[in-house]
Amino acid sequence: MTRGTPASHGALDRFSTRGLPAVRRIELWEEHNANALVALQCRMLDESALEAAETNLQLDRLHLAHVEANPHAVERTGRTVRTRPTESVALYFTLAGEAIFADADGARTLRPGQLLVCDADRPFLRGFSEGLEELAVKMPYDMLRSVGGTVPRTARVIDVRGHTYAAALATLVERAVGSRGDGSADEDALVALVTAVLGQPEPAVGRQTGAHFAAAEQYVRQWLRDPTLSARRIADAIGLSERQLSRVFAECGTSVPRLVARRRVEMAARMLRMPSYAEHTVEAIGLRCGFSSAAQFSRVFREQSGMSPSEARRYDGPSDTIPIGS
């Protein structure tokens, strides 16, 4: 079965302290997090009322969240760990605001673009003197071990920009629960990427096919409009040879050219149906989607959908019902 099929959509659970009585905001925020993510004790750094919002998505094997708040601090004490264990690993992507993380091993500062990986059942303190915006992923121990992962013994900080798997993971989580998230989530890809992030910096290809594929697919999405996108560029970006990349795609039931063609046709199908592109010619849309010529666009679009771009533009139905092959 081909990997990269349309992601499943889950129900987003949104919670905010805005509009709640100021004196109860911390209590209700703690209650929500204890039930939805991780039990924590919260306190303000000044006399301000807590302004916080969280979007949660519970999947079969993972929990995803997007959190925003004004300056405050949270603590997970030894007593809380004993009374409200999570038996999970937590990953926090800092999007905005500098954060402090302290545990038995010392204190670390996290800045936007960095990822904190920690065992959620080891006591810790986190401070957000500038407020925060972050993405969170929680994965239970048993799920992690079932896919060959190991629970981290100590917390660590990762620079997302320089880590192939962390960057791809952040992109997928943002797409699901970020400020513009729609609840779509490819859980297989997410699990593979979490496992890779928690493992060695560059795991062996044979054991990390899913992570390599997910990272490659995110690179393809990022550069889809570039007609010079190639297998060599993708392989270089994720640290593989072209032969290794081809093997990864084959194990996932597809190839680099097929995936690129599919994603470009999917993008074009949406644009052909968008009112904002009604004045654009079919050729202009094709070039905007990374096709090198009108002829290539027409040929590939027909191969993938069974109709020409012009026919797709007149198609009586939403773009996501246009049949796109694999």
Summary mean pLDDT of the chain: 89
pLDDT beyond 50 at 244: yes
Do residues 245 and 251 lie in contact, with contact meaning Cβ atoms separated by under 8 Å?
Answer: no
The predicted-structure confidence for 135-181, as pLDDT tens digits, reads as follows 999 999 999 988 878 889 899 999 998 888 899 999 999 999 998 89
Structural domain includes residue 213? no
The predicted-structure confidence for 2-50, as pLDDT tens digits, reads as follows 343 445 556 899 999 999 999 999 999 999 999 999 999 999 999 999 9
pLDDT beyond 70 at 240: yes
**Is the domain of 199 the same as that of 303?**
no
pLDDT beyond 90 at 252: no
pLDDT beyond 80 at 207: no
pLDDT beyond 50 at 205: no
**Is the domain of 24 the same as that of 133?**
yes
* Banded pLDDT at 262 (limits 50, 70, 90): very high
Domain count, the chain: 2
* Banded pLDDT at 321 (limits 50, 70, 90): low
CATH classification at residue 245: 1.10.10.60
Angle subtended by helix axes 209-222 and 242-251, to nearest 10: 110
Structural domain containing residue 178: 8-203
The predicted-structure confidence for 96-134, as pLDDT tens digits, reads as follows 999 999 999 999 999 999 999 999 999 999 999 999 999
Do residues 105 and 155 lie in contact, with contact meaning Cβ atoms separated by under 8 Å?
Answer: yes
Sheet holding 114-119, edge to edge: 13-16, 52-58, 63-69, 132-140, 88-96, 114-119, 156-159
**Is the domain of 108 the same as that of 199?**
yes
Structural domain includes residue 220? no
Alpha helices in the chain (DSSP H): 25-36, 78-83, 141-146, 164-177, 187-198, 209-222, 231-238, 242-251, 256-273, 282-288, 294-305, 309-313
CATH classification at residue 55: 2.60.120.10
- Cα 225 from Cα 242, distance rounded (Å): 21
